[in-house]
Amino acid sequence: MENFKTLLEGKSAIVTGGSLGIGTSVALKLAEYGANVAINYRKHKEEAEEVVRKIQETGRKGLVVQADISNFADAQKMVENVVSEFGGIDILVNNAGVNWDGVIWKMSEEQWDNVLNINLKGYFNYVRAVAPIFREQKSGKIVNVTSINGLRGKFGQANYSASKAGIIGLTKTVARELGKYGINVNAVAPGLIETDMMKNAEDSVRQAAMADIVLQRIGQPEEVAEVVAFMCSELSRHITGEVIKVDGGQYI
């Protein structure tokens, strides 16, 4: 729809983990709909710079910041940088995440801490950084990318599923805390999506997941991005505290 091209006109957004996969699709979709977009990277500098180049090709401002999302100070500095460069911040999409699988009786403390620090603490760090700004301006959109495995659990993913379930609890709580200031806080829960992480998965994992998908196909990052963009817009102004599944019926 043509009017979607200005859906986010004049808005400024942060997308964590925007250099790869779903994050890249989200960053580009927000720019396509009119937002200036900042992304962070920890290791993938070249990929992040390429995403920003594509953002700028849409006529929007793009910004790339080296920031470890699990570092509280890095998150604060990135938000300050974005406000300085863009003149404000209106949208936060928490997307960056990792997995490091293993059954619980073999999982190391390092595996647990690494996944929780990035997937859950990282989200807290950025929500904490933007919340005072959104509260003062009495507006803002926060979208947290979680997973259907945070709703149902997944064999061999105690750390990942726990982190994604924690994101859902964080989303609902912050929605309650910030709602009276006109701030919407929601989560999007993808199922099996064709990302680099999924491309590297064993065939048995892909086949088992496919057997659960009602629509009988693997989702694409762009399909998640469309839903995130909707949740970042005023079209979703009366939705908060929700978890929207984008999974082709995999959770049914």
Torsions phi, psi for 173 (to 5 deg): -70, -45
Q: Which residues are catalytic?
A: 160
Please give the angle made by the CA atoms of 251, 142 and 78, to the nearest 5 degrees: 125
C-alpha span between 25 and 12 (Å, rounded):
16
Amino acid, res. 217: R
Polymer length of the chain: 252
In this structure, are strands 62-66 and 243-246 parallel, antiparallel, or unpaired? unpaired
The closest of 169, 161, 163, 165 to 103, measured between CA atoms, is: 161
Q: How far is CA 172 from the centre of its chain?
A: 15
Query: What's the chain's Rg over C-alpha atoms?
Result: 17
